[in-house]
Amino acid sequence: MKELIRPVAIPTFVLLMCVSALSSQAYAVDEPLQLIGVTFPSTVPYDKPINLEITLSHSSVATPNVAVYYTIFLNQTIQFGGWRLLPASVVYSSTNNVTRVTIYTAEIPNKVYHDPWLFDSKIVYYIEAVDVKGNKLLSCSESTRWNGQLESDKYVTILTDTYPPEIGEVTQTPGEPTSADVVTVLASVIDKASGIREVTLHYSFNSGEYTRLTMTMEGERYRATIPKCAKGIAVTYYVKALDKEGNVGMSGLKSYVVKPSPEELSAQEAEQRAQAEKMLYATVLAITILSIVAVVALRKRIKQLYARAKQPVVVEECKHPKAMTIAFLIILSATAILAYNLLSFSKLIPAATVGVMLVFWGLVDPRANTLIPFKRNRLYDENPPTALIAAGYVLLIIGAVLAFLKYLIEELSFLYVFQSYAIYALFLVGLGVLLQLAWPHIKDLGISIEAVAEEEDSPTRK
């Protein structure tokens, strides 16, 4: 028997061409059976079979029987059971005047044995061929064929781990970190074959460079902590796992934005309150200054109004009913929308606002005399643009006062409430100014809304 020639991965068609060329030159086969080559993997994943391709030349017309004998070494050292037999299957055969070439395939393990196919196992095997005349061919020495420890004349394949570790759920505590919190990250990591070598946490602040932390086993999960950082910082992190075979698994990116701590929130609220107080003081100061300027500028008119108020009550009709009706529909609509938007903050503020605006309507429109139990004199001649402007100022004043009172009692957002009032107040003032500027043109067009010129008091009012 010839010594075993270790196989080289040569394409099958090349082998067949070589055999045909030798035969055409009247090459005489020395042996009835000759192993041309065996294609086999040195390693395969632990969950995959070992696929062999065996090329054999033979002189007999009948196809020889080819079998693979294999044994398993767990952890590459402990032999599990004895030798198993696996018949090979014919997939191709060619013939010429001198010799035949047949190609066989085999797939280890043989399912009949239900062999354990585990990571880091070593599979040792050899080939045996027997023809119809009883000629036999072994790919190894006859004397060592049953010795699995002797691998020099046999084929060997190692079952390896080619799969990365599986990273399951990754959680953080707390779910919404503040600047006072150290964030704990827990990750479930498993590896079904070689085992975990290392699990690391990688995190970065505001898309900067990643910092690497080694995670430690805590119960059934791996744990690491991200240190405290300032509010507003965006933290991004992921988990990376390495098994003992060098396979790497990574989790998806997770992120959070650091929120203010309770202490920072208290300081922020104190700062907002201080700003609200400053705004209120500025509003009160501005109203006071405007009031003083108005009193100085309109002192004569105020004296006239005071004198008129002391006169006996004379019930008069509204001089511009249609114009005043339209003006107050606009005022009450703006007030109603504002009140509806503020219902989510408070029910008292919208009610007080509507009540004040109704009182304002009663003071401005003489038709209100028919709705109230007491009668009053007309203090001034009503004017729709002036009513809109006055309503805007009233809305701004009551907004500042009510928002500040609500802020002091329940610490609601002063700025939000006051800004809501300011928006509608500016709308009314701006609309009134535009109507006042357009008043002469409206009068010329003969529209029912008329301007009332400033006149001397009539004899009936003196």
Which domain CATH number covers 251? Answer: 2.60.40.10
Among residues 233, 260, 287, the one where a domain terminates is 260
Ranges 66-70, 93-97, 148-152, 221-225: which has the least confidence: 93-97
Burial class from Cβ neighbours inside 10 Å (0-12, 13-18, 19+) for residue 452 reads middle
Q: What is the mean pLDDT of residues 68-97?
A: 92
pLDDT value, residue 25 = 39
Question: Are residues 399 and 421 in contact, defined by beta-carbon separation less than 8 angstroms?
Answer: yes
Cα–Cα dist 217/247, whole Å:
19
Q: What is the pLDDT of residues 13-69, one digit of tens each?
A: 444 444 444 443 333 344 689 999 999 999 999 999 999 999 999 887 889 999 999
- Residue 358 or residue 449, greater confidence: 358
Whether 287 and 421 share a structural domain: yes
For residue 385, what is the DSSP state? H
Return the bridge partners of 249, or none: 241
CA distances 384 to 129, 287, 324, 357, 420, Å, are 115, 23, 5, 15, 24
For residue 369, what is the DSSP state? G
Q: At 209, is the pLDDT very low, low, confident or very high (cuts 50, 70, 90)?
A: very high
Q: Quick one: CA dihedral 300, 306, 308, 310, positive or negative? A: negative
Question: Are residues 188 and 221 in contact, defined by beta-carbon separation less than 8 angstroms?
Answer: yes
Residue 381 lies in a domain: yes
Whether 330 and 450 share a structural domain: yes
Whether 443 and 296 share a structural domain: yes
Cα–Cα dist 141/331, whole Å:
110
Domain count, the chain: 3
pLDDT value, residue 370 = 60
Q: At 206, is the pLDDT very low, low, confident or very high (cuts 50, 70, 90)?
A: very high
Whether 346 and 252 share a structural domain: no
Among residues 160, 183, 212, the one where a domain terminates is 160
Whether 99 and 35 share a structural domain: yes
- Residue 77 or residue 304, greater confidence: 77
Token pair, residue 275, equals 């700003």
Residue 364 lies in a domain: yes
Residue 112 lies in a domain: yes
Whether 78 and 141 share a structural domain: yes
Among residues 110, 128, 160, the one where a domain terminates is 160
CA distances 349 to 336, 365, 403, 413, 414, Å, are 12, 24, 8, 13, 12
What residue numbers bound the domain in which 353 lies? 272-461
Whether 256 and 280 share a structural domain: no
Whether 116 and 77 share a structural domain: yes
Residue 4 lies in a domain: no
Residue 439 lies in a domain: yes
Whether 246 and 285 share a structural domain: no
Q: At 348, is the pLDDT very low, low, confident or very high (cuts 50, 70, 90)?
A: confident
pLDDT value, residue 330 = 86
Question: Are residues 104 and 38 in contact, defined by beta-carbon separation less than 8 angstroms?
Answer: no
Phi, psi of 260 (to 5 degrees): -65, 150
Token pair, residue 299, equals 């002192």
pLDDT greater than 60 at residue 325: yes
Residue 5 lies in a domain: no
Whether 63 and 155 share a structural domain: yes
Whether 171 and 156 share a structural domain: no
Q: What is the pLDDT of residues 133-190, one digit of tens each?
A: 889 999 999 999 999 999 999 999 999 999 999 999 999 999 999 999 999 999 999 9
Residue 277 lies in a domain: yes
pLDDT value, residue 304 = 61
Residue 49 lies in a domain: yes
Whether 234 and 307 share a structural domain: no
CA 42 to chain centre: 44
The pTM of the full predicted model, rounded to 2 decimals, is 0.55
